[in-house]
Structure 1
Amino acid sequence: MTARVRTFSNAGLTFDVIDEGPIDGPIAVLLHGFPQRSTSWNEVARHLHGQGIRTIAPDQRGYSPGARPRRRAAYRLSNLAADVVALIELVREPGHPEWDRVHLVGHDWGSVVAWTVAARDDLVATLTAVSVGHPAAFMKSMAGSQVLKSWYMGLFQLPMLPERVLSDPGSAHHMLGSAGMTREMLRTYHREIVEYGALRGGLQWYRALPYAHPRVMGNRISVPTTMVWSDGDTALGRRGAELSERHVDAPFELQVLEGVSHWIPDEAPEVLAEIVCERIGTARNGTSAARGH
């Protein structure tokens, strides 16, 4: 599909999209995490455009004003994945050498959705997962130190309190700043999440976790995959990233960024774009990256 996409619909919801870069280039779908929107990919996308890649970044369920259902069950992982599948079906062109499948990139919660959608190798050519490993690998890592890093996931299950804490500038700056967000990123957070009315929808992703079906969490991946993890991540340990290889039946590479916080797309956009381009290049050239670290 060569026309620009500004919105798309699924299950009666309407999603906003940033579609930029060479219109005739291979398509990279970029999925944001919490608490950010599609704009978190701006710098990464700019570097990808310079390499001839078209980027399509949606504001996902709970973030787009036209896609904010109230019930937490609406945010189960299968629904989040179905939204992205609907977008891919809209932009792909079956049979075309460049556009029949997309290159999927996700950060944080966007990575969880990307792992889920990447099980569809008829829609996805490559996967670059950033920060969060395969859902089954993440769950296994919870048996170790990850459970302590994920304390906030329990907090977010509570009604109303997380909204109050994360809407308050002082509390939000302490919580998100301690995870590596800069002052500029925090200003963006307040403008694009809190003031935009997207905070509750973002929190619903966590509250819907009890609805996640084990089959969805355990999907195997058969497309070439790169896992990107940073050693300055206070929320996610290395174990989940390492275990992800066990769930990939295709070339797999683990890239570790040193001295970088959780917010990889913001903090290391050029490096991340290079990694994405390398993964896309292996598919376009018909080659396979060696497994390794």
Structure 2
Amino acid sequence: MVEHRMVDVNGVRLHIAEQGDGPLVVLLHGFPESWHSWHRQFGPLAEAGFRVVAPDQRGYGRSDRPDAVEAYTILHLVGDVVGLIRALGEEKAYVVGHDWGAPVAWHTALLRPDLVRGVAGLSVPPPFRGTQPPLAAMEKMFDGRFYWNYFNRPGVADAEFAENPRTTLRKFFYWASGDSPDAGTGKQPLVDPERGWLATMPDPQALPEWFGEEDLDALTESFAKGFTGALNWYRNLDRNWELTAPWHGAVVSTPALYIYGDRDVVPAFPGTPELIERLPALMPDLRREPLKLAGCGHWTQQERPDEVNAALIDFLRGC
């Protein structure tokens, strides 16, 4: 059974869900999600002999939401994972992340390999720091219409998404799923700065089979206090680029696994397909070729739980 409690980490209180005994596996969710994104992984991983813990990361769900934008840098987020491992009484952990949780997982392995037994990323590939700040690069490439730049406008996306959180989340999950008509087309996520993003997203008459009304209920509840904390992660993209300068050119050396869907919008971002092709040569301990799931959109572990669980268990046991 999944149990819930609060843990004090680095001056913030994090809500965590946990199940099982054995080596610690930390599961990190993305945007706009919560610990619930991993609810199909808890039972299988616990039954396979692991202690599974999924936090609501800072800015999300029942966890604290610092007011300052600069309290959401990649160093804060990695610090939360490091602090959580210690607070749980462990010396090492496997770290698995999806969407924004993937960069946190990859950077935890990059910055603190001494604490990481193995790292897995879903959707977002390992971080290889570019030559220019990402927000500035996307601003130039897409004339300010890339969704990162839209999110960077203080208060704008916050207000749009908070007007009706349930509708926001329903549209997001359908739009980025493998069920969406735009999935797999390579179309970039651009936003009309005047109309906002949701206006261009279809509102499905019925939810996909893998994402029911109870899932939407749980997700909606986690955003009852708004979206600002979650959006502040994006507002640190250029700051993260500055802060990670000492690791420019560094690679993740711990055992690694990468999984993504062939209908996911993220692996189609500029330069990402080429990066994925090169991962086996770039990653010294990538345990298998990147696992591409046919017909799968962005919500990897929710859309394809059986395949993801099997790949994760095989990876974790082999580290």
Partner of 2:294: 258
CA gap 1:220/1:172 in 2 versus in 1, 3 angstroms:
same
Matched, 1:179 2:162: no
TM-score, normalised with respect to structure 1 = 0.81
Q: Output the CA distance in 2 between the equivalents of 1:192 and 1:216.
A: 34
Partner of 2:121: 129
Q: Output the CA distance in 2 between the equivalents of 1:247 and 1:139.
A: 17
Cα offset, 1:217, TM superposition: 6.6
Q: Output the CA distance in 1 between the equivalents of 2:93 and 2:154.
A: 37
Q: Output the CA distance in 2 between the equivalents of 1:282 and 1:162.
A: 42
Greater mean alpha carbon deviation, residues 106-115 or residues 237-246? 237-246
Q: Output the CA distance in 2 between the equivalents of 1:91 and 1:241.
A: 34
Partner of 2:8: 9
Cα offset, 1:219, TM superposition: 4.2
Which of residues 104, 107, 111 is equivalent to 1:113?
A: 104
Cα offset, 1:122, TM superposition: 1.4
Q: What amino acid sits opposite 2:87 in the alignment? A: L
Alpha-carbon displacement from aligned partner over 1:149-196 (angstroms, at most 9, x marks no partner)? x92111100111201222244555444421127463544432222x2x
Partner of 2:94: 103
Cα contact 2:158–2:228 (8 A) shared by 1: yes
Partner of 1:200: 228
Q: Output the CA distance in 1 between the equivalents of 2:131 and 2:292.
A: 20
The 5 Å alignment of 1:137-156 reads 151-156=146-151
Cα offset, 1:218, TM superposition: 5.1
Runs of 4+ in 1 over 6 A off after TM superposition: 137-140
How many residues were matched structurally?
266
Greater mean alpha carbon deviation, residues 48-57 or residues 110-119? 48-57
Cα contact 2:10–2:83 (8 A) shared by 1: no
Cα offset, 1:275, TM superposition: 0.8
TM-score, normalised with respect to structure 2 = 0.75
Cα offset, 1:264, TM superposition: 0.9
Partner of 2:318: 282
List alignment gaps of at least 5 residues for structure 1.
94-99, 284-293
Cα offset, 1:39, TM superposition: 1.2
Partner of 1:191: 221
Q: Output the CA distance in 1 between the equivalents of 2:117 and 2:316.
A: 8
Partner of 1:97: none
Which of residues 249, 267, 291 is equivalent to 2:303?
A: 267
Q: What amino acid sits opposite 1:235 in the alignment? A: V
CA gap 1:245/1:69 in 2 versus in 1, 3 angstroms:
farther
Greater mean alpha carbon deviation, residues 233-242 or residues 52-61? 233-242
C-alpha RMSD of the superposition: 2.7
Alpha-carbon displacement from aligned partner over 1:68-112 (angstroms, at most 9, x marks no partner)? 11111110111110010111123354xxxxxx4211110000000
